[in-house]
Chains A and B, each alone.
Chain A
Amino acid sequence: MDFLPLEQLRQIQLTRLQVIVRRAYDRVPLFHRRMKERGPNPDDLRTLADLARLPFTVKTDLRDAYPFGLFASPLQEIVRFHASSGTTGKPIVVAYTKEDVDDWARAMVRSFSACGVHNGDIVQNAYGYGLFTGGLGAHYGAEALGASVIPISGGNTERQIMVLKDFGVTVICCTPSYFLHLVERGSELGVNFHDLPLRIGVFGAEPWTESMRRRIEELSGIKAYDIYGLSEIVGPGVAMECQHQSGPHLFEDMFYPEIIDPDTGTPLPDGQEGELVITTLCKRAMPMIRYRTRDITSLVATPCACGRTLRRISRISRRSDDMLIIRGVNLFPSQIETALLAVEGTLPHYQIIVDRQQGLDTLEVQVEVTPEFFSDMVGGLEKLQGKLSHAIESVTGLRATIRLVAPRTLQRSEGKAKRVIDRRQM
């Protein structure tokens, strides 16, 4: 599938698109209603270009449909759920039939193969296992490929390093920032990554840059590859870099990409930067029609030295909404607001400061002390810090440093407070 002549690829895409749009129209009330109101009838889809006439799907549609509202398969056929963090405490739920899980594994097999992973490799999978799609997605793919998988999940850095060394691990899957942390911690423990059999890193779940890739490769001696995916579409394995490291190739026969102007919704030609929109071409349990990823990138159609006919996406430079990705976890400033509000009753002025220290994302929330919560005793203020930190962790799943600051010290400009300062050097 990776090397199909373009004409054949486009034909497969069109056939699959017609089937999936019909399925969405027939089985999912939201898609049915939207197409009735605004869009063309599924039978009007005669070319791939006709897709542009269909309405978009956005993240809030998934949240509004919580938990099962967008399923196109009966529950009896669902074999797996995953979920990602939402903005109001309710997660976004995604579902898979048996065939969907197999398709996903196939996409991951293609991903691993593209960057040179093969059977016989020992894969340490340090993506989180659980509701997050990263862990199980990479796990099923690596297993289907015939590699030996270590389902170590995230965290416990020292054990990760011990296993890397003792098991003779050749491939690691994790976020790039966590890998840098592993390398740095390793050198403190006397483990030089250049001496390990490790050769490939499959890195994703957060934005990163070419300079970070160079740094990883210099510090560890491995090859670092960028994998792209999102839960709403399937999880990891939507796009993956080949050995030429020239941007992730989209598995276009499964995930149909478009680039649009994020403000007007108008489709843009290949090479032009805009928001990535994806339509799933195979998903049974939860088809997505023109899902707006909010990731700003461009489609690269120029031939790749590997010979794949699949288009690539360029480095994702930013997102078109205010979502932050911290240690692989999606964070919306509104979640911080929810937590602060829960503790204090009214919303204090606050600022979110994201930084990266020793390869790990750090999250600090500065909160102005209000008269109601000011105590003349250190213990009272420390208790407040503890409460705020706990509330933020329970809403977002992220541990944040709380810094109490004096009233009116946080910057307010043009009447609107600057809520987020991202100091990460991308």
Chain B
Amino acid sequence: MKLKQLSLFLQNEPGALTAPCRLLAHAGVNLITLSLADTQQFGILRLIVRDWEAAQRLLEQNGYLAKLTDVVAVEVEDKPGGLVNILTVLEQGGINVEYVYAFTLKHGNRGVLVFRFTDPDAAIRQLQSAQVRVLDAEELARRLEA
């Protein structure tokens, strides 16, 4: 049920974001979604792509530090309180969230969020037991093509 996320270390300076994105663009890699964490000194670019293995290889060959992390895609109702419902479930299960960002993807009145949990397996169990839909890579791919 987990997704693979690629994390890149970037220096906080002009052009630092452009270079790896250009590299992926030239190789025809489409970014499903991304998030950028930044401090004054450095940034961490987090990417979800379909063929993460090829993307990682490409980035590493070009000198980037690209690390794989397990994240979880969670379906959320696109209405006020939709996120709160998910967070409540997680809170009840004592699940720790490291960070969260969103997919641009929408399915009916439902959006999808990317969660990085301290313990992703426990989080998936907790969410599923509360009937919250967790999307795996295949489901995500199917929705992208739809």
A residues near B (Cβ < 8 Å) are 369-371, 374-378, 381-382, 403-409
Contact = CB atoms under 8 A, between A and B. Distances in A.
B126 interface: no
Interface in B34-59: 37, 39, 41-42, 44, 46
B52 to A, nearest CB: 13
Q: Which of B5, B7, B9, B39 has the most CB of A within 10 A?
A: B9
Contacts of B9: 369, 374, 381, 404, 406-407
A363 to B, nearest CB: 16
A377 B42 contact: no
A369 B39 CA distance: 15
B98 interface: yes
Contacts of B67: 371, 374-376
B63 A408 contact: yes
B69 interface: yes
B41 A404 contact: yes
Between B5, B16, B65, B67, the greatest number of chain A beta carbons within 10 A of the residue's beta carbon is seen for: B65
B39 A406 contact: no
Contacts of B46: 376
Contact of A404 (B7, B37, B42, B69): B42
5 contacts: A374-B9, A377-B116, A381-B39, A407-B63, A409-B11
Contact of B41 (A374, A376, A377, A403): A403
Contact of A376 (B16, B39, B42, B44): B44
Nearest to A371: B65
A376 B5 contact: yes
B63 A377 contact: no
Given A374-B67, A377-B98, A409-B11, 6 more contacts: A376-B7, A377-B44, A377-B116, A406-B11, A406-B65, A408-B63
A409 B9 CA distance: 12
Contacts of B116: 376-377
A276 to B, nearest CB: 41
Nearest to B7: A376
Interface in B63-96: 63-65, 67, 69
Contacts of A374: 7, 9, 65, 67
Contacts of A371: 65, 67
Contacts of B7: 374, 376
A409 B7 CA distance: 18
B39 A382 contact: yes
Q: Most chain-A CB neighbours within 10 Å: which of B7, B11, B46?
A: B11
A371 B66 CA distance: 8
A407 B41 contact: no
A378 B41 contact: no
Contacts of B37: 377-378
Interface string B1-38: 00001010111000010000000000000000000010
A378 B9 CA distance: 10
The 9 closest A-B pairs by CB, nearest first: A376-B7, A408-B63, A376-B69, A369-B9, A374-B65, A378-B37, A407-B65, A406-B11, A374-B67
A370 B37 CA distance: 18
Nearest to A382: B39
A376 B99 CA distance: 10
A407 B98 contact: no
Considering residues A376, A404, A406, A407, which has the most beta carbons from chain B within 10 angstroms of its beta carbon?
A376
Contacts of A407: 9, 63-65
Contact of A378 (B10, B44, B64, B65): B44
Contacts of A404: 9, 41-42
A381 B42 contact: yes
Contacts of B11: 405-406, 409
Nearest to B42: A404
Contacts of B16: 406
B44 to A, nearest CB: 6
Contacts of B69: 376
A24 to B, nearest CB: 52
A412 B7 CA distance: 26
A404 B39 CA distance: 11
A381 B42 CA distance: 9
Contacts of A375: 67
B117 to A, nearest CB: 12
Nearest to B16: A406
Interface in B84-129: 98-99, 116
A409 B42 CA distance: 13
B146 to A, nearest CB: 29
A374 B43 CA distance: 12
A406 B64 contact: yes
A381 B10 CA distance: 12
Contacts of A376: 5, 7, 44, 46, 67, 69, 116
Nearest to A405: B11
B10 A406 contact: yes
Nearest to A402: B41
B39 A378 contact: yes
A407 B66 CA distance: 11
A378 B37 CA distance: 7
A408 B98 CA distance: 29
A404 B12 CA distance: 10
